[in-house]
Amino acid sequence: MTGVALVFPGQGSQSVGMGRTVAVASAAAAAVFSRADDAVGEPLSRLAWEGPADQLDRTENAQPALLATSVAMLEALRERWGDEAPRPAFAAGHSMGQYSALVAAGVLRLEDGVRLVRERGRRMQASGSGRDGAMAAIIGLDEARLPELVDEASRAGVFGVANRNAPGQVVVSGERRAIEAGTEIARRLGARRAIVLPVSVAAHSPLMAEAAAGLRAVLDDVAFADPDPPLLANADARRLTTGAACRNELIEHLTAGVDWVAAVRAMLAEGVSTFVEVGPGRVLTGLVKRIAPDATAVAVDDPAEPEGLAVPVHAVTTAT
């Protein structure tokens, strides 16, 4: 087993222009975007590269565009790595990034992954109809106070921890009235910042139950292979080593939280020392550095590079 993990970002990492420079420089990346366009029957690549931003940011567009960009970057990396390509110990995705990880690990075909995340986005947008959903970022709150926050805020409605991103950084999700109450409670409990986010869905909460039920029926018609390398479940970082387990993960993680801290620590415990973020931006790179300051974390997205892609050959080969 090597000391390298490939990690894939979720919604929020998208930006207009993502992946265009890589697609121009890499035939392998260009082919990924072409296949993704064909899979959804429209120029998804043009939306990723040219926007407009308000359309790209729509959940049903952002998710397939992110998956296509992440996989395009991965294929460009593999093209450039050649014989030096590492054999990763894990592929791990944050929220929607799980789909990118599943494609990377050979569980899903690219075309199925793109179509599934588009359907996921549509069902998330429609789920919880009549119950105004919201999410908020809570920064600087002592983790020991989280149960108290959840208990108090839940008195106002559905409320729970959606993402445990790093020590002292969580995202909460649920009914808007409970989320707004929760931000006030969090500040009282000592949080440095508590900010309601500009989203219209309560991801990773019970309000996504309708989306999970609908997606279950869709996933029944999709082929799932066993992953290579293994993945980690978003909610509790357990190993996912079979196609059946991966299928269940995609249903369960709609209503359960994402514990990225547990995932990173689980990979560290298995000997991972280098985390390579494959996708637009460097959100996960920053989170990994906060969770594991002694680990190496590198992002492949680098606009300063002529091809828009950093190829961390040295970092990953020395970690094997």
Amino acid at 57: D
Catalytic entry in 26, 173, 204, 205: 204
Could you tell me the two tokens for 145?
A: 């106070």
User: Shortest CA distance to 255 belongs to which of 201, 305, 319?
Assistant: 201
What's the rounded Cα separation, in Å, for the pair 191 and 49?
38
Contact 19, 49 (CB under 8 A): yes
End-to-end CA distance of the chain: 8
Q: For this structure, is 314 an active site residue?
A: no
Q: Is 204 a catalytic residue?
A: yes
Contact 62, 14 (CB under 8 A): yes
* Those residues with Cβ within 8 angstroms of residue 182's Cβ, 6 or more apart along the chain or in another chain: 136, 138, 149, 152, 153, 156, 159, 172, 174, 194
Q: Which of 13, 26, 45, 95 is catalytic?
A: 95
Active-site residue list = 95, 204
